Amino acid sequence: MDEPIDDGRPREEEMKIVSMNNVDREHFPNPIFTGPDVTRQLLVPDSKEFSVNMINFGKGVRNKFHAHDSEQILIVTAGEGIVATEKEEKMVTKGDIILIPPGEKHWHGATPDSEFSHIYVSRLGSTLTRLED
């Protein structure tokens, strides 16, 4: 077993553990969504490299076609959703993980009959370009 690295210097950062159940949901009105029933949970606001948030969609609500300038990872945590590109639509459910490459035009959100939640992970400061009105 490897020994932990300890050079005797104080650490500026230490591991943090966040329970999603203890993170407040905030109403998240944004013109990228097709409806108002969306909440967000800022899961790791102290990260210096990643944006990590939970997005909770009401039934039938999705975001509009958009693209990112970096990879985006979606981790489905509840409900039934759709992840779509210009070429296809895929049904996704709890436990599915989606990797969306930079520049791919896509949308994601809830099916008409189900609420839908996912964690999204992207590079902090990456740019989202909305491609649908």
- Could you tell me if 99 and 70 are in contact, meaning their C-beta atoms sit under 8 angstroms apart? no
- Could you tell me if 68 and 108 are in contact, meaning their C-beta atoms sit under 8 angstroms apart? no
Q: What is the pLDDT of residues 23-74, one digit of tens each?
A: 999 999 999 999 999 999 999 999 999 999 999 999 999 999 999 999 999 9
Q: Report the CATH number of the 24-125 domain.
A: 2.60.120.10
Q: What is the pLDDT of residues 61-100, one digit of tens each?
A: 999 999 999 999 999 999 999 999 999 999 999 999 999 9
Provide the whole-model pTM.
0.88
Positive or negative, the Cα torsion across 45, 48, 51, 52?
A: negative
Query: Can you give the pLDDT at residue 13?
Result: 76
The residue ranking higher by pLDDT, 129 or 10, is 129
- Of 7-11, 46-50, 54-58, 113-117, the one with minimum mean pLDDT is 7-11
Query: Can you give the pLDDT at residue 5?
Result: 63
Q: Which of 41, 18, 45, 19 is nearest to 28 (CA)?
A: 41
